[in-house]
Amino acid sequence: MDKLEKAMQKARQERAMNVTLPHGVTAMGSVTTPHATPRRASNKDLITITDDQLARSRIMAHRTRSPEADGFRLLRTQVLQVMAREKYKTLAITSPNYGDGKTTIGLNLALSIALDLKQTVLMADLDLRKPNLHEFLGLTPAVGLSDYLLRDTPLPDCLLRLSFERLSLLPAGTPLDESSEALGLPKMAALAHEMKTRYPDRLVIYDMPPVLAQDDSLAFVPHVDAVLLVIREGKTKAEDVTRCLELLASANIIGVVLNEAIT
């Protein structure tokens, strides 16, 4: 058994819940449709996201009879069981490095939960330095979280309503260099608290930056109920997993998603 396998096994054994996508996400394949022109999005519109856009971003959770969507439904059930049992309302998704698949996994999970009927979901982009959640949906929002935090833009003006009824989006807004300072503001702590308490049937998923690349995730995890760690098979190094688990030692990691698992 190589080092990476050992670290992953350790990660699985040490945590309360093991989440791996049973079919991997390998079967997603690459999608070669050309990039769509981003649409300006405002909170006044109900935004319809086309199937083409979802496919370009490898969002599969809404599909019926698809192994990838089945994988996300299983992940959804596992996550929802823990969240309900522990009365958790907020979940941060992070990973050791850039490009491990946090946003792909997070958005698929958010959509899968929103399609569950019992739950509403707000997905927030907390990568204030290099935000890109909106790009997955082909959108260019005028404002977002950083504008709420630093420019007093009202929060309702920052939220985007999607045509998936129970899914809404809080984009990151104007990119910031001092992203961890912004996430450390009392206004952000108050918002994180409100996110847990405002609506009883709403879960909040935070799309975080990578743990080893910047300190934003570490600074923010004390404000979340739970953390889901994404590891990318064939890319994430064993020592990165170990370091990540050390840094997140005080965080409540409820599972590890092995992205692009080879089955």
Ligand X SMILES: Nc1ncnc2c1ncn2[C@@H]1O[C@H](COP(=O)(O)OP(=O)(O)OP(=O)(O)O)[C@@H](O)[C@H]1O
Chain contacts with ligand X (rule: CB under 6 A): 25, 28, 58, 95, 98-104, 127, 210, 259-260
Q: How far is the CB of 227 from ligand X (least distance, A)?
A: 14
User: Counting contacts by CB under 5 A, is residue 103 touching Mg ion?
Assistant: yes
Q: Counting runs of H as helices and runs of E as strands, what totals does the chain give?
A: 11, 10
Residue nearest ligand X by beta-carbon distance: 25
Asked if 56 touches Mg ion (CB under 5 A), the answer is no
- Beta-bridged to residue 122, according to DSSP, are 168, 204
Residue 230 Cβ vs Mg ion, minimum distance, rounded to whole Å: 10
Give yes or no for residue 104 binding Mg ion (CB under 5 A): no
Q: Which among 191, 165, 154 is positioned nearest to 43, based on CA atoms?
A: 154
Closest distance between Mg ion and the C-beta of residue 126, in Å? 10
Residue number, 41 or 261, with CB nearest to ligand X:
261
Q: Are strands 139-141 and 202-207 parallel, antiparallel or unpaired?
A: unpaired
Residue 94 bridge partners (DSSP): 229
Question: Which CB atom, from 153 or from 172, has the smaller least distance to ligand X?
Answer: 172
| Sign of the alpha-carbon torsion through 168, 170, 173, 175 | negative
> Helix (H, G, I), strand (E, B), or coil: what is residue 173?
coil
Q: How far is the CB of 31 from ligand X (least distance, A)?
A: 8
From ligand X, Mg ion, none, interface partner of 173 (C-beta below 5 to 8 A by class)? none
Contact partner, 112, from ligand X, Mg ion, none, Cβ < 5-8 Å per class: none
126: left (phi over 0), alpha (psi -120 to 50) or beta: alpha
CA distance 150 to 172: 12
Residue in the structure block whose two tokens are 């519109």: 45
Amino acid sitting at position 86: E
Residue 125 touches which of Mg ion, ligand X, none (CB < 5 to 8 A by kind)? Answer: none
DSSP code, position 254: E
Look at residue 28 and give the partner it binds from Mg ion, ligand X, none, a contact being a CB closer than 5 to 8 Å depending on partner kind: ligand X
Q: Which does 199 bind (CB under 5 to 8 A by kind): Mg ion, ligand X, none?
A: none
Binding residues for Mg ion, rule: CB under 5 A, are: 102-103
